[in-house]
Amino acid sequence: MDALRSWVPGIGAATPRLVAADPALRAVVLTAVGGRTLHGAVHPPEHQRLIFHRIGQLAASIHDSTPPRPAGHSLPVAKLERHLVGALPHLAPGDKKFIRATAEQAPGLAPLETVPTHGDFQLLQ
């Protein structure tokens, strides 16, 4: 609900507006947003490129909808090993060593900033 009240209005017409919210019920009422689902849709390559370009513009507007602010926490390096285990089947030789070496440099990086984010935009297979 915080996002719907704070940064979503800055994105523009591509987003729903919060009409009502009940935290006890964990329910919200939103305005409708025009358009069609892309799930299962098939488009010619030139139209698909236009669709993905527009999705990219929406993602950028989400990130730019409010100014960055200090995150107040450090990089989640402690989760590295758990994520590496899950990623091992997808890594090339040497990737694990490179990732660990890169993570060791994390303490020297500038403080993190927080910006609005979204779920993963990807095609479902």
Distance of CA 116 to the CA centre of its chain: 8
Cβ(118)–Cβ(55) under 8 Å? no
- C-alpha 21/C-alpha 15 separation (Å) is 16
Average pLDDT rounded to a whole number, residues 24-43: 89
Q: What is the pLDDT of residues 48-69, one digit of tens each?
A: 999 999 888 888 888 888 888 8
On whether both 64 and 80 belong to a single domain, the answer is no
Longest dimension (CA), the chain: 52
On whether both 5 and 64 belong to a single domain, the answer is yes
Nearest to 73 by CA among 109, 101, 119, 117: 109
On whether both 51 and 89 belong to a single domain, the answer is no
On whether both 27 and 12 belong to a single domain, the answer is yes
Task: Give the model's confidence band at 19: pLDDT under 50 very low, under 70 low, under 90 confident, else very high.
Answer: very high
Cα dihedral sign, 51-32-24-11: positive
What's the domain range around 2? 1-35+44-69
Task: Write down the pTM of the prediction.
Answer: 0.55
On whether both 50 and 99 belong to a single domain, the answer is no
Cβ(111)–Cβ(67) under 8 Å? no
On whether both 8 and 61 belong to a single domain, the answer is yes
Q: What is the pLDDT of residues 96-110, one digit of tens each?
A: 999 999 888 887 788
